Amino acid sequence: MAVTRFCKRTYEQDLRIFQSPSAKIFLALLLLFLLTFPAFGGRYLCYVLSLCGIAVIGALGINVLTGYTGLVSMGHAAFFGIGAYSAAILSTRAGVPFWLCFLAGGSIPALAGLIVAIPSLRLKGLYIVVTTLAFQFITEHVIYHWESLTSGDKGIQLPHASLFGFSFDSHAKFYYLILLTALTAAIFTKNLAMTRTGRAFIAIRDRDVSAEIIGVSLTKYKIMAFTVSSFMAGLAGALFAFLNNLISPDHFTFALSIQYLAMIIVGGMGTVLGSIIGAFFMTLLPEILAAVTGPLSSAYPLLASRIGAVSTIVYGLIIILFLILEPAGIFGIWLRVKNYWKQWPFKY
């Protein structure tokens, strides 16, 4: 009966990831679509979807830190960049094989996250924002100026990734690797929320003083949140480095940090599906805007140099409108629509 779906009568029911058979069917269809996409998508769309996948991993990372634990971090792009540069430097300077670069691309930012977490332990809300902001700018600066390590402005060029002799030399092949990582990240984050650690994170977000009183060690879990989040950001960065085969300091600016925060806000903060939707939305938005403003700037050539400003305006407006009108994000809209139809024709 439809009604029993709303009442959870056993703990088992509560713990289930898929609350109904239709969710499983939908997910299976989605997986089928994603797996077969390169066959009919074409090179450019594969690239765009790969970017979306990387954004998903990054968004899930910031979701763990900000959505689950409530520590707003403006330094996510810095960890992303550290991951990308670690992978790039290890791969080009030391000839380290891809899978090790990949893991190092996650571990080195995780270490950095650990270090950043320590002064953040006794800070809250706004102060963490400013500290992570300072970290972001300092990292940007170091990446730009430490020429001997990062070749500064010139950027680093990477070879194609290769795993045990199998070379990922096309966008389609690398797409599958990114898909796999993104799926793993999503399952990991979804399960994280249901474990003891995840519940500790959520407790810290809701009322950290009370959490400490009931025995949740703030130190341990805040450091863990930073580390996990930076690890995921670093993995995403490493994948980005190998996807693009070229990275430079202006890929990892403050604007990217804001983009990640916007992803989880627009998508729906604190939810896995929200982060995924937000990641897709914010990655596809520049593409759509470019498609729209492209013809516009060729029609009015005077506007051409200023047309970039339009995307900045749209970007800002989306953030503002979503926060004022729909704080729960796209996922919130989806939930409302879904519940409306589930309960139709009843009101509640």
User: Among residues 169, 323, 337, 339, which is the contact residue for another protein, using CB under 8 A?
Assistant: 323
Amino acid at 68: Y
Judged by CB under 8 A, does residue 218 bind another protein?
A: no
**Binding status of residue 297 toward another protein by CB under 8 A:** no
- Residue 129 binds another protein (CB under 8 A): yes
- Beta carbon of residue 341, minimum distance to another protein (angstroms, whole number): 28
| Residue at 295: amino acid letter | P
The tokens of 269 are what? 């903060």
Q: Cα–Cα distance between 95 and 92 in angstroms, integer?
A: 6
Minimal distance, residue 87 CB to another protein, in Å:
24
Q: Which region among 35-43, 81-89, 196-204, 316-324 touches another protein (by CB under 8 A)?
A: 316-324
Stretch (H or E) spanning 288? helix 272-299
Report which of 197, 203, 202 is spatially closest to residue 220, judged by C-alpha positions: 197
| Contact flag: residue 291 with another protein (CB under 8 A) | no
Contact call for residue 149 and another protein (CB under 8 A):
no
State the greatest distance between any 2 C-alpha atoms of the chain, in Å, as a whole number.
67
Q: Which two tokens stand for residue 180?
A: 């796999």
Q: Are 60 and 272 in contact (CB under 8 A)?
A: yes
Residues 6+ apart with CB under 8 A from 71: 65, 120, 128, 222, 225, 226
Residue ranges in 64-93 that form contacts with another protein under rule CB under 8 A: 66, 70, 72
Q: Which is nearer to another protein, 323 or 337 (CB)?
A: 323
Among 1, 39, 209, 299, binds another protein (CB under 8 A): 209
- The least CB distance from residue 312 to another protein, in Å, is 3
Residue 72 or 103 having the CB closest to another protein:
72
262 is an interface residue for another protein by CB under 8 A: yes
In the block, tokens 């430097």 appear at: 89
- Residues with Cβ within 8 Å of 227's Cβ and at least 6 positions away in sequence, in order, are 110, 113, 114, 117
The footprint of another protein on residues 265-284 (CB under 8 A) is 265
Distance, CA of 313 to CA of 307 (rounded, Å): 10
| Contact residues for another protein, defined by CB under 8 A | 66, 70, 72, 119-120, 122-127, 129-131, 133-135, 137-138, 141, 144-145, 207, 209-210, 213, 258, 261-262, 265, 305-306, 308-320, 323-324, 327
